[in-house]
Amino acid sequence: MRRIGTGSGASISLIVAFVFPAMIGAALALAYYGFQYADTVSRPIEALFREYSREEAEKMVSEFETRVDQPALALFEKVAAERKEPTATPACEINPGPAIDSYQVLNADKKEECHWPSGNAASKHLRAFWNDYRGKLEWDLVRIGSWHHFHELEDGHSVLVVYTARKTEDDRGYFVAARMNMEVIGKKWLDESLVKLRKNLRVAVIDDDGNLVAGAPLGRADREERFLLEDRFGKALYRWRLQVAPQNVDAFQAQAERQKKLRPLLIVLSTVIMVVGLGIVWLVMAAERRTSRLKSDFIANVSHELKTPLSLIRMFGELVATGRHKGEEAAKEYGGIITRESERLSHLIDNVLDFARLERGKASYDFAEGDMADLLERALDVCRYRLDKEKLKLRTQIDLQLPPVRMDENAITLVILNLVDNAMKYAVDGKFVDVSLGRSPGGVVLSVRDHGPGIAADEQARIFERFYRARAARDRNVRGSGIGLALVQYIAEAHGGRVTVESPVAGEPGALFRVHLPAPVPEIAETPAPQAAGVKS
């Protein structure tokens, strides 16, 4: 049978043909480059440390230098406020706080107007300092409103001067220079800033002459130097450098080594997971494709199955209605065909509806104790007409002394009709269809045997799968939907029983289906062959 392609089928084929190989290729490429990358990364372990520590160090330096500028900027604003009045004369009486130990105010010609503190003892010394430094500061480079830093090392100590150029409201220029108190900034404030870094790192601040300003000396051991990171105090204290190193080089190195070993393992693991995942998805899709194909065959089969009896009903109905027949006898015969095909249609619709309920998980049965032999007789009566037409002889062997069976009569009738229908369809050349009902250990067994070509061994398990149709049936265009035996199995199991198939039967061609159903009361002894006295043939 020609299968009609669907849109989803085409996209699945596309995925299988192109996307899966591409994804597997990508996973393998990822693994390859992952290994390469892991190797590159693990080489300079110290680079990991630098990456890890640089951000923290830069942040500390930036925050510290911003803090250093604050007292000087506050002083500059206070001096500006004091000089707001055009007639005001500078007195250098503003106390700049502990971070500034001296400041000087100069006029536009860089002549000192005053300095602070102005006490006699300090005054001589400070005048000498400012006289010395006035020549060192780059006054001409300072733009109005901005400020500059001058950082100098002197006898192992740092001197930091922050200076600015300003204008009064009447356009008179002046300069202010503040000398920072290094006892406060370089010790107290610096220590406070370094505390945060010391949680994970060892830190030190050194000047350009190699003198230690704060912290413990670093970088002497070679191994430490590999893990030494330096960051210059670039803005204000530009003669200083911050040095950081791991708290424990051995532990850091061990951690890096562990990462070096773990990383390839993780890459291998993730690649395996990806490939296995893809494999599972592929298998699921293959199963889904198969089910989808079977469903589409099922729809085609059911539609064909429905159309054949419908065609006959319509055709013969039309022949009778329009009088296109050869007389009363023919009309009667047409009526018989219409009746029979209506039954066939009804049986097929029952099958499909029952199967649909089963598919939705809503199949439920009304169980009641009943006489299986009587039910079988009634079901076989429905089949007799067609058996005669197919020139098949029905041979029955029914044990009339069977215990009552707890069953849903409609469902078991469907089982019998399906099995006999199968025997008729697939074994039309077999001449006989044998149906027997007898006892089995713990219950009863219904057997339906045909004498047709039989079922190949590799297909015997699959014929109970929904939508599956045996090769012979497909090849010979035998009508069928592929749900009959699935339904038989489902109903048997819902009754606590089971269905089996045997082919060939004791070396003879044909197939034998057995449906075992439990019969709980009374206890039954095993009797493989029906008793002659109670058997109807």
Partner 1 sequence: MKRVLIIEDEPDIARGLRDALEFEQFEVTTAGQGREGIRLLRERGADLVILDLMLPDVNGFHVCEEIRKSHAVIPIIMLTARSQEPDKIRGLEAGADDYVTKPFSVGELVARINAIFRRLHRAMPATDEVIKIGDVTIYPRRHELVRNKKTMTLSFYEVELVRLLHERAGEPVTRDEILEKIWGSAHTTSRSVDNFVVKLRKKIEDNASKPRHIVTIYGTGYKLVV
Q: Is 95 in the site for partner 1 (CB under 8 A)?
A: no
- Looking at residue 476, the DSSP 8-state letter turns out to be T
Answer yes or no whether residue 307 interacts with partner 1 by CB under 8 A: yes
**DSSP state, residue 505:** B
In this structure, how many other beta carbons lie within 10 angstroms of the beta carbon of residue 220?
Answer: 8
What minimum distance in Å lies between the beta carbon of 464 and partner 1?
Answer: 25
| Angstrom distance (rounded) from CA 271 to CA 268 | 5
The DSSP code for 207 is E
Residue 340 Cβ vs partner 1, minimum distance, rounded to whole Å: 9
Please, are residues 500 and 464 in contact by the beta-carbon 8 Å criterion? no
Q: Report whether 445 contacts 524 (CB < 8 A).
A: no
Three-state secondary structure call for residue 100: strand
| Residue 300 touches partner 1, criterion: CB under 8 A | yes
CA-closest candidate to residue 84, choices 169, 167, 171: 169
Region binding partner 1 by CB under 8 A among candidate stretches 152-160, 216-224, 324-332, 456-464? 324-332
Work out how close the CB of 512 gets to partner 1 at its nearest, in angstroms, rounded to a whole number. Answer: 24
316 binds partner 1 (CB under 8 A): yes
In contact, 173 and 166? CB cutoff 8 Å: yes
322 is an interface residue for partner 1 by CB under 8 A = yes
- For residue 511, the minimal CB distance to partner 1 (Å) is 19
SS3 370: strand
Q: Pick one of 311, 346, 527, 531: the residue that binds partner 1 (CB under 8 A).
A: 311
Range list of β-strands (E), 130-268: 147-154, 157-167, 173-180, 201-207, 212-215, 229-232, 240-246
Token couple for 271: 């690649």
Please identify, using beta-carbon distances, which residue of 30 and 319 lies nearer to partner 1: 319
The window from 144-152, 169-177, 311-319, 434-442 that contacts partner 1 (CB under 8 A) reads 311-319
Choices 23-31, 75-83, 156-164, 316-324; region in contact with partner 1 by CB under 8 A: 316-324
CB of 382 to partner 1, least distance (A): 18
Please tell me whether residue 303 binds partner 1 under the rule CB under 8 A: yes
- Of 94, 294, 330, 472, the one binding partner 1 (CB under 8 A) is 330
Looking at the Cβ atoms of 50 and 386, the one nearer to partner 1 is: 386
Total number of residues that touch partner 1 (CB under 8 A): 28
- Of the candidate residues 191, 230, 318, 374, the single one contacting partner 1 (CB under 8 A): 318
Q: Which of 174, 161, 102, 166 is nearest to 133 (CA)?
A: 161
Our measurement of the distance from residue 231's CA atom to the centroid of its chain's CA atoms, rounded to an integer in Å, reads: 44
> Among residue numbers 74 through 93, which ones bind partner 1 (CB under 8 A)?
none
Question: Which of 167, 235, 289, 304 touches partner 1 by CB under 8 A?
Answer: 304
- How far is 492 from 249, CA to CA, in rounded Å? 74
Least distance between partner 1 and beta carbon 447 (Å): 28
Token pair 């970088």 in the structure block, residue: 219
Smallest gap from residue 432 Cβ to partner 1 (A): 21
Beta partners for 433? 394, 450
* Residue from 357, 476, 498, 536 binding partner 1 (CB under 8 A): 476
CB of residue 458 to partner 1, shortest distance in Å: 23
CB 312 within 8 A of CB 341: yes
Which positions lie near partner 1, rule CB under 8 A?
1-2, 4, 300, 303-304, 307-308, 310-316, 318-319, 322, 324-326, 330, 334, 337, 341, 476-478
